[in-house]
Amino acid sequence: MQKHQINFSLESKRTLREKYGCRVYPLPQIIYEVLEKCTKAMTQIAAGQKVEPHTHEFLSFYLAKNNCLEFDGKQYLLPVYCLVVVDPGAIHPWINITSYDDSWIGDLSSDHGPQIVTG
């Protein structure tokens, strides 16, 4: 199945950073694969599923593959491979709006607990 092509605009990037406390950094696949080996846990998000919105008291670092963030009813489709840095206190819900099950979120923060996927 063909992967979605992302046009992740500067406006989307700015909105996620300024309004929602999430900074998104696109990654080449090879860098993603190296960082993936450093994750605490990788959680698969099947088509149509989401991770419950949650927050932390610490700066959070995530690897995201084929993922989306949703805020105020608007969905922000992320670059296929990216690093997402979430500010302390920022609520962040991950969602897979694609039609395939190759969506992953990985925790690089040592204090992070398990992701709760619902569907």
Q: pLDDT per residue over 5-46, tens digit each?
A: 445 677 788 889 999 999 999 999 999 999 999 888 888 999
% of the chain residues with pLDDT over 70: 87
Are 36 and 106 in contact by the 8 Å Cβ rule? The answer is yes
Q: What is the pTM of this model?
A: 0.85
Domains and CATH numbers, the chain: 10-118 (2.60.120.10)
Neighbouring CB atoms inside 10 A of 94's CB total 25
| pLDDT confidence band for 114 (50 / 70 / 90) | low
